Amino acid sequence: MELFGLVDCNNFYCSCERVFHPDLIGKPVVVLSNNDGCVIARSNEAKALGLKMGDPFYQVKDMLEKNNVAVFSSNYNLYGDMSKRVMSLLSRYTPKLTQYSIDEAFLDLSGMDNLQEYCKEIVRKVGKGTGIPVSLGIAPTKTLAKMASKYAKKYKGYEGVCLIDTDEKREKALKLFEIGDVWGIGHRNTKKLGYHGIKTAWDLTQKSASWVQKELSVTGLRTWKELHGESCISIEELPHKKSIFTSRSFPGVGVDKLQDLEEAVANFAASCSRKLREGHIACRNMTVFVYTSRFRVDTPEDYISSDIIFPVATNNHQELVAYAVQTLRRYWKGDGKYYYKKAGVIVWDICRDNEVQGNLFDEVNREKQQKLMAAIDEINKKNGHDTIRISTQGYLKTWHLKSEYISHQYTTNLDDVIVLKV
């Protein structure tokens, strides 16, 4: 019997911070987005306080202080390295491991004996070896494995492992699982299905295949089949983001020099490019924008926004940065004329990187660029983000992110290594 295991790191960003602050175990912890804008990760204790994903930091700051919530700025160097450590440990238990995201990976567990105990051992060893608690869901399809991992995380009695390997277990799991939490359903479809009286995953499985295909298309039909126990979705077909958005507000009065703004926009485009490659996806369109403060009356207002259509869908670092900077230069009105308070880059119209359609007149050697980016990514993984970068990205000296609560880079920077005094 074919069985997939989905390993999911529990509250990953918060857990990474707790590894180096063990006094915070059992206490509320939140992690903020870049520029300390909003809450992007919460420990279970923080969730119990009513904190929501995306809560603006300035709105909940007093409540966080009142409840002694530990606050951290995003530390992606630390999180990326801790992710590598988790994946390295997992790879010892099966030769077939596929990382799906920074905190999730699929394991092929087909044909293994005493599976429940074997997987509990995986959970224990990863927790002990990295300090990161993980949950493991096992089922005959990837969609059911994701469901099982949520049960493993929710109920302590499972000891971190939930196995769905019989029709009886599958039926019970489906009846207790809300339809909106099923992988690939999405918010819009949840409303539509609710109109038809479909509240749980089990309700969906009771509909006919023809009805599901009519209402949810072929993609929804695949999900329906997976819920029935038929494996038909590959890793490449799992849900991915429709767009990736990176933006920052600049401190003080803002930025009024082209070189400074170029540096910021180049870094935003580079960040989007990295996220695209990590997700094995590419974009056909990109939007670059910058604007002045809407609330200042003592300086003139300006807004720059432009869409770029790529001749071939891409996730290439050099290409995205070059287009972003060229766009900014095209609309620039001169240094000192405006003080720009915010800038950002959005990449959208996304497709799988193995589904990119070529262009007969494409002048870029895609194969060569792909190999170059793979080499750069490997170096940056070992030595930290942006160890190798395009010169336009600068060294973040002329503008900076607001990261008042950032922790040390304990595992990737010698200056931040923990020192024990005996």
Phi, psi of 348 (to 5 degrees): -150, -170
Q: Span 360-380, mean pLDDT?
A: 80
| Averaged pLDDT, 260-289 | 89
What would the mean pLDDT of 382-399 be, rounded to a whole number? 71
Q: Which of 319, 186, 318, 324 is nearest to 242 (CA)?
A: 186
Is the pTM higher than 0.85? The answer reads no
- pLDDT band (50, 70, 90) for residue 131: very high
At residue 240, the pLDDT reads: 61
The number of CA neighbours under 13 Å toward the Cβ of 86 is 32
Q: In this predicted structure, what is the pLDDT of residue 402?
A: 65
Tell me, what's the pLDDT at 390?
A: 82
Say which range, 8-12, 181-185, 234-238, 312-316, has the weakest mean pLDDT. 234-238
Q: List 8's β-bridge partners, or say none.
A: 104, 135
Sequence spans of domains, the chain: 246-351+378-393
Fold of the domain built from segment(s) 246-351+378-393:
Dna Ligase; domain 1 (3.30.1490)
Sign of CA dihedral 289, 322, 315, 37: negative
Kindly list the strands in the beta sheet with 4-9, ordered across the sheet, starting from the edge strand earlier in the chain: 97-101, 104-108, 4-9, 134-139, 161-163
Cβ atoms of 31 and 139 closer than 8 Å: no
**3-class DSSP assignment, residue 314:** strand
Nearest-angstrom CA–CA distance, 75 and 34 = 9
**Residue 382, exposed/middle/buried by CB under 10 A (0-12, 13-18, 19+)?**
exposed
Q: What pLDDT score does 401 carry?
A: 59
pLDDT-wise least confident of 93-97, 222-226, 380-384: 380-384
Highest mean pLDDT among 71-85, 200-214, 221-235, 304-318: 200-214
Is pLDDT at 1 greater than 90 in this prediction?
Answer: no
Let me know: does 288 contact 345? Beta carbons within 8 Å.
yes
pLDDT class of 342 with cuts at 50, 70, 90: confident
- Integer CA distances (angstroms), 35 to 31, 81, 273, 384, in order: 11, 21, 19, 19
Give me the mean pLDDT over the 116-121 stretch.
93
Q: What pLDDT is attached to residue 399?
A: 56
Q: How confident is the model at residue 86 (pLDDT cuts 50, 70, 90)?
A: very high
Confidence of residue 181 (pLDDT cuts 50, 70, 90): very high
- Say what percent of the chain tops pLDDT 70: 94
Short-list 324, 364, 347, CA closest to 277: 347
Give the whole-angstrom CA distance, residue 263 versus residue 395: 8
Surface-to-core class of residue 111, CB atoms within 10 Å of its CB (0-12 exposed, 13-18 middle, 19+ buried): exposed
pLDDT tens figures, 219-256: 889 999 999 999 988 766 666 666 787 878 787 778 89
Mind listing the pLDDT tens digit for each residue in 14-72?
A: 999 999 999 999 999 999 986 788 898 999 999 999 999 889 999 999 999 999 999 99
pLDDT value, residue 242: 64
Tell me the average pLDDT of the chain. Answer: 87
Beta bridge partners, 303, equal: 291
pLDDT band for position 395 (cuts 50, 70, 90): low
For the cut 70, the answer to whether the pLDDT of residue 169 exceeds it is yes
The alpha helices in 98-208, defined as continuous H runs, are 115-130, 142-154, 167-175, 186-195, 201-205
